[in-house]
Amino acid sequence: MHRFHLSPEHCRSDQLRLDGREAHHALHVLRLKPGERVTVLDGAGGEFLCDVETAAKNSLTLAVKEKQSTPAPPCAITLLVAIPKGKLIEGIIQKAVELGAQRIVPLLTERVVTQLDDDGAESKREKWQTVAIEAIKQCGATWLPKVETPQTISEFLARGEAIELALVGSLQTERRPPRAWIQEFEQQHGRLPRSAAAWIGPEGDFTLAELLAIEASGARPITLGRLTLRVETAAVYCLSFLNYELQS
């Protein structure tokens, strides 16, 4: 069944309307006709089973036949990842959606080649958010992760966010397997964390100064095995582990 995305404020009635990109895809790529059934995702847990009611030149009207709501995942997972070269970040975002991340924060670290001004950073954010939207339509995720504007490590840490369990992939300091930190948290609190984060550095790793700043904020250094992983592999590794341990 074909899936589309509408923001929650546009999903409040029993009749929905597709415009813009979504309508173009439905009309000119899929060539949907009245009577065909589709699914609309609002990215906030809502899933709407709809029938195409009318198809105009640039829009479709959908009649909602069934509504379902999926609770938010038990743990809000944030991926903080250094921006790799080329378009690899788009693949990372797609996998982050599939693996249950609530938020993706692209990082401008000292060893990241990409340089962006304010306009460029916002343009990238909008593009990458669209990648996330396309990913929930592909995999059927009912919760849409937020892609934040690219920022430095110090800019993110200055916000002082309270994340219950933050893990940082490290090649430089004393490290433990990620499960050891989860078990320690569970022993101390009698429950699993409700928020978690995975910090993934660039090719060549975080600098020592960056790593020390991340650890000073409370992040626990972890090993990802004996091999040196590419950025995209490390991101998938960490998200897969956190999704399995904290979301299932």
Ranges of each domain in the chain: 3-69, 76-246
Superfamily for 76-246? SPOUT methyltransferase, trefoil knot domain (3.40.1280.10)
Predicted pLDDT at 248: 77
Alpha helices in 100-149 (DSSP H): 118-139
Q: Do domains 3-69 and 76-246 have the same CATH topology?
A: no
Superfamily for 3-69? Hypothetical PUA domain-like; domain 1 (2.40.240.20)
Residue 230 corresponds to which tokens in the numbers above? 């590419």
Predicted pLDDT at 231: 95
Q: What is the pLDDT of residues 144-183, one digit of tens each?
A: 999 999 999 999 999 999 999 999 998 776 789 999 999 9
Determine the Cα–Cα distance for residues 100 and 119; give it in Å rounded to an integer. 29
Residue 93 corresponds to which tokens in the numbers above? 């975002």
Q: What is the pLDDT of residues 70-106, one digit of tens each?
A: 999 999 999 999 999 889 999 999 999 999 999 999 9
Whether 56 and 24 have beta carbons less than 8 Å apart is answered as no
Predicted pLDDT at 117: 74
Predicted pLDDT at 176: 92
